[in-house]
Every structure is written in C-alpha cells, then in structure tokens.
Amino acid sequence: MLRTRFTEMFGLDYPVMSAPMTSHSGGTLAGAVSAAGGLGSFGAISESGPEWAREQLAIVRKKTDRPFAAGFITHFMHFAEPIFELVLAEGVPAVVFSFADPGPHARRARDAGARVICQVQTMASARQAIDAGAEVLIAQGNEAGGHTGERPLLPFLIEVCSTWPDTPVLAAGGIATGAALAAALAAGADGACLGTHFVATHEAIEVAEGYKQRIVNARAEDSVYTRVFDLLDVQAWGIPPWPDGIGARVLRNETVDQWQGREVALAAQIVTAAEEFTNRLQEDELRWRPIYAGPAAGAVQGIRAAGDIVRQVCEDAERVLRARAAEVLA
C-alpha cells in the first residue's frame, strides 16, 4: 500500500486526486474517484450557478461518504461567489484554488473548516499559496492538459518539495501510469493530481464521447501548448484574460494548425477570427474547439471506469517502486 502525508490527511486508500476540471468534471466523476479511495474533485465554476453546484454535491454524497473537493479558478471568483458561498456553507471537506492569488478566498475556506489545496505553476505562486494558508500544494508542470504554466514538472516539483518540506505536495502534468506516479513519489511528491486520464472515463458525463475518443486516439506528440484558444475565447465569449505565464495544453486540430505561431497576426484580426471560430464550432465542433489534454493522452488506451484507473495506477506504482528499490539499492 502507498502511504503518504496526503493519504493520511484525508484518510485515503490511494495518493491520487482527480483534477477539478471546469466543465469536464462534475459530481459523478468526483464521487467515483472518492468512492474508489482517492480524492475526487469537481470544477465548481459554472454559469448554472448554486443550484447546479447543489446538485453536484448531492451526487457526490449519494455515491460516497468519503472526502472530496470543489475547485475554483481563482481569477474567475468574481462571478463564482454564490457557488463559493454554497460550497463553504455545505461543509465541503476541501477547496482547490488555481492560477491567481488565493488570498482572502483561502482564508474564508479555512475559517469554514475546509482544507485548502492550491495548484501552483511558479515558485512565486507557490509562495502566495503558502502565505494564504495552503495545506497542500499541487505542483503543476507544463505537461498538464488544460490551462497550465510554462515550467516542466520534474524540476519544478523537486524545487517545491525542497522549499516547503513540511507541506504535502501533489504532482500534476503527464501522469497517467503507475510508472509516472512512482517517479513523482520518488522525486518527493505525496501523490498526484490526474486530469487527462479521468476525462476519458464513463463518469466524466459532461464530456462528449467524441472528445473522449480523441484523447484515446491521441499520441503524446499530438499535445501542444498554446495561447491561441485563450485569445479567441476572450474575444468570442468575454472570458477574463488568463494570468501572465498561463496557456493551454490541447490536442492539435485545425484551429491550432491555422494560428499556432501566428499569435501576433491573430491578435491583429481577432474580431474577424473570433467570429469565424464561433461559426465553425456550429458546423463541426470537434474539428475546431480546444480538446484539453496533455501528453499523458498517449498512455490512455480506452474509455474506462474512474475507479479502475485509481486502483491500477496506484497498484502499478507500488510494483514499480518495490521492483526498482530491489534493483538499484545495494
């Protein structure tokens, strides 16, 4: 059995957390991961508001009485406030903050009795999280699917672990196998936060089957880091700009092929380009929309049950660690 400070903190069987992916992870996925012995989470940002969030909480609690988390994109908090208030009032065991300074939000969560987990992409953002009272850090590398920073995981993970040795740290980015989890644990992590692999599950009911199949069919090299979709989204939907140093890791498609490396030209004709983009989404969405996935997609072999992924990744990691220890330790 893999036992870490993270499993001890939450009473888990496995040191795995599912990423709180906005619009990609709801109560069904979070509940399945928690019921399997990991820490399930759901992305708690939604235009549907508090009633939607209340439904997700009910789904999780129907599936399990084990701990789970709700996640917030911190620079979107100005319109997520009603959901945040509900999450705190409902006594959700843990709250995850990502990307911007968690500051007063983290303090409110702690005052409400929730554990505070902060996903960070730089040493500066890690320091902000620690100063805000984070009890767990997620060191997110550039290999992570969806929005992420610019630093590769391994050196960043090692630096975070060595700088804050008393704080449990989860690794995020490129982890979909037992060997990858074993590597993160050997580097000092207390567990891992997985996103891409959990998108391709039966319980990710918010995600279209064609989207999941794109992940299954992808090779690692199909995943690219880009700011193209963020430029288009800001113009097309009025989404707040992402913080400096944050971009999106997606699977290559026709939008990426059209604009990647041509961001200056895209910005110069953004009104026309965004209108063309939204029109194309109506015609054939999967050809043009962002398919958020990291290079870990290359290890995803099929659409599976979330609980099976939790167990297999962790059991494989344990076998790898035991075998390597026997092989390399004199």
Asked whether 292 and 24 are in contact (CB, 8 A), the reply is yes
- Taking the C-alpha atoms of residue 154 and residue 172, their distance in angstroms, rounded to an integer, is 10
User: What is the reported pLDDT for 305?
Assistant: 98
229 Cβ neighbours under 8 A, 6+ residues apart: 248, 250, 255, 290
In a domain, 54, yes or no: yes
**CA 270 and chain centroid, separation:** 28
User: What is the reported pLDDT for 123?
Assistant: 98
Specify the CATH number for the domain of residue 113: 3.20.20.70
In a domain, 213, yes or no: no
| Residues 238 and 320 both lie in one domain | no
User: What is the reported pLDDT for 247?
Assistant: 96
Asked whether 112 and 85 are in contact (CB, 8 A), the reply is no
| Residues 199 and 101 both lie in one domain | yes
Start-to-end Cα distance in the chain:
23
In a domain, 318, yes or no: yes
In a domain, 135, yes or no: yes
| Residues 186 and 223 both lie in one domain | no
User: What is the reported pLDDT for 47?
Assistant: 83
The model's pTM is 0.95
User: What is the reported pLDDT for 282?
Assistant: 85
| Residues 126 and 25 both lie in one domain | yes
Q: What is the pLDDT along the chain (330 residues), one digit of tens a residue?
A: 899 999 999 999 999 999 999 889 999 999 999 999 999 999 998 888 899 999 999 999 999 999 999 999 998 988 889 999 999 999 999 999 999 899 989 999 999 999 999 999 999 999 999 999 999 999 999 999 999 999 999 999 999 999 999 999 999 999 999 999 999 999 999 999 999 999 999 999 999 999 999 999 999 999 999 999 999 999 988 888 999 999 999 999 999 999 999 999 999 999 999 999 999 988 777 888 999 999 999 999 999 999 999 999 999 999 999 999 999 987
| Residues 81 and 189 both lie in one domain | yes
User: What is the reported pLDDT for 31?
Assistant: 98
| Residues 246 and 322 both lie in one domain | no
The boundaries of the domain holding residue 202 are 5-207+301-328
| Residues 40 and 173 both lie in one domain | yes
215 Cβ neighbours under 8 A, 6+ residues apart: 196, 199, 200, 251, 291, 293, 297, 300
Q: How many helices (H) and strands (E) does the chain have?
A: 16, 11
| Residues 164 and 258 both lie in one domain | no
Number of domains in the chain: 2
In a domain, 212, yes or no: no
| Residues 268 and 130 both lie in one domain | no
| Residues 226 and 202 both lie in one domain | no
| Residues 186 and 224 both lie in one domain | no
User: Quick one: which of 98, 19, 36 has its CA closest to 312?
Assistant: 36
| Residues 193 and 96 both lie in one domain | yes
In a domain, 294, yes or no: no
In a domain, 296, yes or no: no
204 Cβ neighbours under 8 A, 6+ residues apart: 24, 25, 28, 29, 198, 212, 306
In a domain, 214, yes or no: no
